[in-house]
Amino acid sequence: MLPPISLTIGGDGAIATPLQIVALLTLLSLAPAILITLTGFVRIVIVLSFLRHAVGTQTMPPNQVVVSLALFLTAFVMAPTVERIHADAWLPYREERIDGAEAIARAWEPLRAFMLRQTREKDIALFVGASGAGRPTTPDEVPPQVLMPAFLISELKTAFQMGFLIYVPFLVLDLVVASVLTSMGMMMLPPVLISLPFKLMLFVLVDGWNVLTGSLIASFR
């Protein structure tokens, strides 16, 4: 005979432990989507992927390294927001000074402030019009179902703009190498084979990882 499982709610209104476990497992299953849609991970990983393709090393660094670097940079960028969530929402909830609903509302405020700083008004207007909701008069009135997709497409645009700027110097180098090879009559030699060492040398000489990482971090401020 199986032991009985209690899912009762205490007299003080607190959620029973089994329900807390279910809520935690649900949150963990949604963690990848939350990481992608509510943080700067999308911008960072796309820019790093653009860099890899611009240099011409399709598998170097490996995907694991790119994603790991994107995760660490995301954690660094989101640290002030996470600290506010921890101080304003998690600690009061753990000390039972607020309930779960208020903790979620407090946790949403720092995230909303972060996303609003990175989101274009044009993208917000797009989803406000698509949803048929009334035009918000203040940033606090932007609903989550509008802000989250608007933030995501704003991040995509910013990432593609940065990717274009990364591509330009390497593209110029490719064109120069191709022109030189053509003028020398070496049309059967792939230009990429010759330009790749020069790309790597250029990237190392300008301390590319330092410059790119600093630019990514500064783009969120």
Q: Collect all residues with Cβ–Cβ distance below 8 Å to 147 and sequence separation of at least 6.
A: 112, 115, 116, 119, 124
Regarding predicted confidence, which is higher, 54 or 1? Answer: 54
* Domain assignment present for 67: yes
**Domain boundaries, position 102:** 22-166+210-218
pLDDT category at 11 given cuts 50, 70, 90 is very low
**CA-to-CA distance for 50 and 57, rounded, in angstroms?**
11
* Domain assignment present for 128: yes
**Biggest CA pair distance of the chain:** 87
* Domain assignment present for 3: no
88-113 pLDDT, tens digit each? 887 887 777 777 778 888 888 888 88
Nearest partner of 77 among 32, 34, 31, 44, judged by Cα: 44
For residue 99, report the phi and psi dihedrals to the nearest 5 degrees.
-90, 180
Question: Tokens standing for 40?
Answer: 């700067």
Q: What is the DSSP letter of 206?
A: T
* Domain assignment present for 193: no
pLDDT category at 61 given cuts 50, 70, 90 is confident
Helix count and strand count (H, E) for the chain: 9, 0
pLDDT category at 3 given cuts 50, 70, 90 is very low
Say yes or no to pLDDT of 70 above 60: yes
- What pLDDT was estimated at residue 8? 45
Mean pLDDT (the chain) is 80
Lowest-pLDDT choice from 57-61, 70-74, 75-79: 57-61
Q: What pTM did the predictor assign?
A: 0.77
**CA-to-CA distance for 18 and 7, rounded, in angstroms?**
6
* Domain assignment present for 147: yes
* Domain assignment present for 103: yes
User: Taking the alpha carbons of 163, 60, 203, 215 in that order, is the dihedral positive or negative?
Assistant: positive
Question: Tokens standing for 190?
Answer: 């792939």
* Domain assignment present for 201: no
Say yes or no to pLDDT of 207 above 80: yes
> How many independent structural domains does the chain possess?
1
- What pLDDT was estimated at residue 189? 66
* Domain assignment present for 121: yes
- What pLDDT was estimated at residue 62? 82
